[in-house]
Every structure is written in structure tokens, then in C-alpha cells.
């Protein structure tokens, strides 16, 4: 990343030192730019106090934190499933499953723990397994819809909190123009980071004999619904991420069209566009009518998705952060 540092708006001299930030270009201190640029860099890197919210806000480090929390939550749910599989009661004493099946249906329960487990299980099945919103989601259980709703709620909330909603007008050297720096850059990076964090989980949802199936005991077909909808969410996030930085580089930064012409020729931007094209192709191939016509191409979707994920990583965590 050292070869890319000169592109950032930070200016280093003999008295400067670097403060590392995970997944981001190092912060150069002390800041020797104009006051607006220094305040913008403080918002991107370091905690600043927001009177509007009465708390500290910062954009990049919080984005990384939210991706870690996302995976911690996913890992927590998987851990709960694994624990529940181990503590699940198997019936009276050491009786085998065949003995349990042959047991008279009117036989008394084996104990309070067994009765509580079966009662809770029956209640959850009664409320969560029926299908709902079939006109929108098709034949999908309430549990699957609830899981999707929780993930969507997390993504919506944590896409917007911790962003510094402020505008800075900074001068362009040797011109009378100015750059417009806003929280849109941090928001676009946040969206890209969350999209990338979701990618491995979405791939796991689509694979046979995956860790998810081993942990939950559910067949991989049960995860197809989440796989499809999370894929669409990733596509939307990628489009918003791309649009945000296109607007910044093509409108907010001056002089134009020089800035945008240099920006669009960068290798990481070119590969980012290729990655977005692959994601759009995957979405088209996921549509049933088109999928029936292009069924042979489905074999290559995993390869295309992996390539797209690698390039989106380059786009989200290396390239756009250096355009600052």
C-alpha cells in the first residue's frame, strides 16, 4: 500500500508519522493540509464529537467494527444451533430412536425437561414453519422470512449510524475551484464493506455439505431462500457503492473532467466495474425464466462470484480509500 499513499490527500514531511488503520491507508500525522481537509480526515479516521448526537463518531473504524459484529452475530447463532443439537433430549434413558418410534403414543413423557423441550419445539414449529407472504417470497416459511428481516434490519441500521453528516469545501491548489467532501464517501465505503462481509456467508448458503448444514443439521436446500435474497442485497449494495464514488469523483472533486478521467482509468476501478458486471450477470442468471435458458452457465456461477468477490475486495478496501 506504500506505493499508493501519494494519491491520498494527506501530505507527509520529515516530521510526519503514520498511524495504522486496519484495511485502510495509514493516517499521516500531524495534518498539514487546509483546515477543511484536516477536519474531513479526522471524520474519516479519528473520533470526533458530534453535538447533534451527543457522542463521538468516526467512519472507517466503525465500518470495520460493524463487519466484525455481523460475523460475530452469525457465529453466535451457529454456536446456539450446535449447542441445541447437543442438549436436545433423546427420550427415556438410553432408548434407541427405534424404541421411541415403537413406543405407544399415549405413553407418559420421560420428564419435565423432555416435556418442556417438546412443548417449546411444537410451539416454535406452529408459529415459524407455516408459509407467509407467498405472493412475494414464494413457498417460504416464517422462520426464513424472519431471518432475512433481522439481517436486513441490521444492514439498514448500521449502514447509516456512525456516519458524519457534514460537508467540507476544500480549495484545489493553484486554482479557484474547490472540492466538496461529505460523509457520502464514508457511507459508500460502509456499504461496500458490508457487502464484502456478506459475500462468504452467501457462498456458504449455496454450497452442498457446507459448514452451515453440518452445524444446523438442515439440508442445503433450506438455505436457498437466504442465498437468493442476500445475493440481491449484495448487488444493491454494490450498485449504491459504485454510484456513490462515481458521484464523488465525477461531480464533487474538481477540476472536471480531469479528475474523473484519471479516476476511471485506474486498474482497481476497471476491475471494480468488471466485478459489478459479474454480479449483474449472476442476478440475470438467477431469474427463473432466464435460468431455464442458460442452465448450463449455472455451473460457473461460483467461479464468477469468487472472482467478483476478490475484485470487490480490491475496490472496497484499497482503491476508493485512496481517492479521499
* 113 inside domain: no
Rounded Cα gap, residues 140 and 153, in angstroms? 19
d(CA 274, CA 269): 9
Range of the domain at 296: 2-81+128-322
Calculate the CA dihedral of residues 10, 194, 285, 214 and round it to 10 degrees: 140
What's the half-sphere exposure (Cβ side, CA atoms, 13 Å) at 183?
14
Domain count, the chain: 1
Q: Helix (H, G, I), strand (E, B), or coil: what is residue 105?
A: coil
Report if residue 104 sits inside a domain: no
Q: What's the DSSP call for residue 23?
A: T
**Among 57-66, 166-175, 192-201, 311-320, whose mean pLDDT is lowest?**
311-320
Which set of grid coordinates corresponds to residue 69? 459484529
Answer yes or no: are the C-beta atoms of 9 and 19 closer than 8 Å: no
Within-domain flag for 88: no
Predicted local confidence at residue 152, as pLDDT:
92
Tens digit of each residue's pLDDT (9 = 90 or more) over 305-321: 545 554 454 444 444 44
In whole numbers, what is the pLDDT of the chain averaged over residues? 75
Q: Would residue 116 count as lying in a domain?
A: no
- The end-to-end CA distance of the chain, in Å, is 15
pLDDT of residue 308: 52
Out of 3-12, 44-53, 119-128, give the one with best mean pLDDT.
Answer: 119-128
| pTM, 2 dp | 0.78
Amino acid at each position: 500500500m506504500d506505493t499508493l499513499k501519494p494519491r491520498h490527500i494527506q501530505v507527509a514531511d520529515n516530521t510526519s508519522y503514520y498511524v495504522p488503520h486496519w484495511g485502510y491507508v495509514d493516517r499521516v500525522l500531524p495534518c498539514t493540509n487546509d483546515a477543511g481537509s484536516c477536519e474531513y480526515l479526522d471524520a474519516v479516521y479519528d473520533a470526533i464529537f458530534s453535538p447533534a448526537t451527543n457522542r463521538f463518531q468516526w467512519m472507517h473504524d466503525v465500518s470495520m467494527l460493524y463487519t466484525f459484529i455481523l460475523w460475530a452475530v452469525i457465529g453466535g447463532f451457529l454456536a446456539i444451533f450446535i449447542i441445541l443439537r447437543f442438549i436436545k433430549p433423546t427420550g427415556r434413558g438410553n432408548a434407541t430412536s427405534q424404541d421411541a418410534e415403537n413406543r405407544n403414543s399415549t405413553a407418559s413423557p420421560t420428564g419435565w425437561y423432555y416435556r418442556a423441550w417438546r412443548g417449546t419445539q411444537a410451539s416454535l414449529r406452529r408459529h415459524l414453519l407455516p408459509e407467509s407472504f407467498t405472493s412475494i417470497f414464494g413457498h417460504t416459511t416464517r422462520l426464513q422470512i424472519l431471518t432475512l428481516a433481522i439481517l436486513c434490519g441490521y444492514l439498514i441500521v448500521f449502514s447509516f449510524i456512525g456516519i458524519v453528516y457534514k460537508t467540507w469545501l476544500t480549495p484545489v491548489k493553484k486554482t479557484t475551484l474547490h472540492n466538496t467532501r461529505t460523509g457520502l464517501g464514508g457511507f459508500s465505503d460502509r456499504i461496500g464493506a458490508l457487502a464484502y462481509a456478506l459475500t462468504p456467508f452467501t457462498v456458504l448458503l449455496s454450497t452442498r455439505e457446507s459448514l452451515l448444514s453440518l452445524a444446523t443439521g438442515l439440508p442445503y436446500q433450506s438455505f436457498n431462500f437466504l442465498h437468493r435474497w442476500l445475493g440481491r442485497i449484495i448487488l444493491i449494495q454494490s450498485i449504491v457503492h459504485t454510484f456513490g464514488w462515481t458521484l464523488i469523483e465525477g461531480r464533487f472533486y474538481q477540476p472536471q473532467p480531469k479528475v474523473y478521467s484519471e479516476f476511471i482509468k485506474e486498474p482497481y476501478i476497471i476491475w471494480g466495474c468488471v466485478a459489478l458486471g459479474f454480479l449483474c450477470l449472476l442476478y440475470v442468471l438467477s431469474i427463473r425464466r432466464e435460468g431455464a435458458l442458460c442452465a448450463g452457465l449455472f455451473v460457473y456461477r461460483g467461479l464468477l462470484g469468487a472472482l467478483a468477490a476478490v475484485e470487490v475486495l480490491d475496490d472496497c478496501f484499497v482503491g476508493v480509500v485512496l481517492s479521499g
